[in-house]
Amino acid sequence: GTAMTGAKIDRNLPLNAKQRKLVADNTGLVAVHLRRNVPNLAMPRRDREWEDLFQEGCMGLIDAARTHREDSGIPFPAYAFPRIHNAVSRALRTKFTTVRVPLRAAPRGAEGEDAASHRTAPHDPRVVQLAYDVSSRIPDRRHGLDDGQELIGERLRDKYERALDIAEARVAGATSRRGDRQQLAHALVEHRLRIPRDEFRRPLRQVARETKSSFARVAQCEKQINASICETLDADPEFHELRRRQRLDPNGRDVVIDSAMGAALANVGNTEFRRRFEALPERRRAELLYRLVGLSGTDVCDFASRQVMRLSPIARETILREAL
């Protein structure tokens, strides 16, 4: 441990790539410890919940990644378990009990972070957030790909991000007596829904505390955002085709979208567009055509004049009269 080696943990230093991988590959150890050693977590209490304790255990896992030495001969899981246990136990004693139980004094001569934690303990229960960038958990799947190539997983993620932006704007624009709907929606998106892995998301109860909202209100707002995301993605035929191809290929999300797949995806979208376009009233069709010309990067006047040049003389005469 750190007290035995005399090494002090500097939590202000970011983890290096190898340490981040250790944490990402071993987060399951925290869940295993909680299931084995913390009773009654299946029925969370207000002052002790799975997500809060999971974050405390992750802090111990991060400390283990910072101090583990490969030449020690100790496998990382065996090294990490005691540190996860200490972090969770310390949190249970100091942050998740109705009556705070003082920690025992550290043995004389003990040094390091563990000794400091014996001397002082926080007086107000709070959740400690992970001290490094959560986005570093996502492996760079594009490494080694040619420029311009894209993976199925990347395009799916991009579609989710766009659907999330749409959902945030939609929910934030809803009327609210408190007038903080935009702040609440933004907090849920940035600290929960935009983070790909559940174990690194901010707990709902903490979002409620930070936004001074009730738990029920926060949960309902997140439910509305998720419903909006599902509605947007469900209306996207390309999204469903990407999911279908992901399930069929053993490489799943790591399949490269080549030119053939790109053409197939475009064809799926075009077929669905034609079906929807045919069902629209004439006025809505005209609006959509105008929008389509704008999205294609073509000047509307240039586009119209080129189409007029292709008309028969009688058709040109007719369209010129209508342009008066």
- pLDDT tens digits, residue range 167-191? 999 999 887 778 888 999 999 998 8
Q: What is the overall mean pLDDT for the chain?
A: 78
What pLDDT does 130 receive? 35
What pLDDT does 150 receive? 86
Radius of gyration for the alpha carbons in the chain, expressed in angstroms and rounded = 28
Which residue in 311, 285, 290 sits closest to 301, CA to CA? 290
- pLDDT tens digits, residue range 202-224? 899 999 999 999 999 999 999 99
Q: Which residues have C-beta within 8 Å of that of residue 290, sequence separation ≥ 6?
A: 300
Helix (H, G, I), strand (E, B) or coil at 155: helix
| Phi-psi group of 281: left, alpha or beta (phi > 0 → left; psi -120 to 50 → alpha; rest → beta) | beta
Please report, for residues 44, 194, 247, 256, 271, the alpha-carbon distance to residue 264 in angstroms, rounded to integers and kept in the order given: 48, 29, 17, 14, 11
pTM: 0.53
What pLDDT does 143 receive? 45
Question: CA 316 to CA 230: how far, in whole Å?
Answer: 46
Neighbours of 185 (CB within 10 A): 25
Q: Which residue has the higher pLDDT, 308 or 110?
A: 308
How far is CA 280 from its chain centroid? 36
Averaged pLDDT, 89-102: 60
Residue type at 24? A
Does residue 7 carry a pLDDT above 80? no
| Residues present in the chain in total | 324
**Largest pairwise CA distance in the chain:** 102
Helix (H, G, I), strand (E, B) or coil at 45: strand
> Which token pair is 244?
């279908």
With 0-12 / 13-18 / 19 or more C-beta atoms within 10 angstroms meaning exposed / middle / buried, residue 283 is exposed
- pLDDT tens digits, residue range 250-290? 888 889 999 999 999 999 999 999 999 999 999 999 999 88
What pLDDT does 118 receive? 42
Q: Which residue has the higher pLDDT, 56 or 148?
A: 56
What pLDDT does 263 receive? 93
Q: Read off the pLDDT band of 228 (50, 70, 90).
A: very high
Averaged pLDDT, 57-85: 86
> Which token pair is 112?
């390091």
Q: Which residue has the higher pLDDT, 228 or 86?
A: 228
> Which token pair is 22?
């250790």
What pLDDT does 279 receive? 94
48 forms beta bridges with 45
Token pair 């109705």 in the structure block, residue: 98
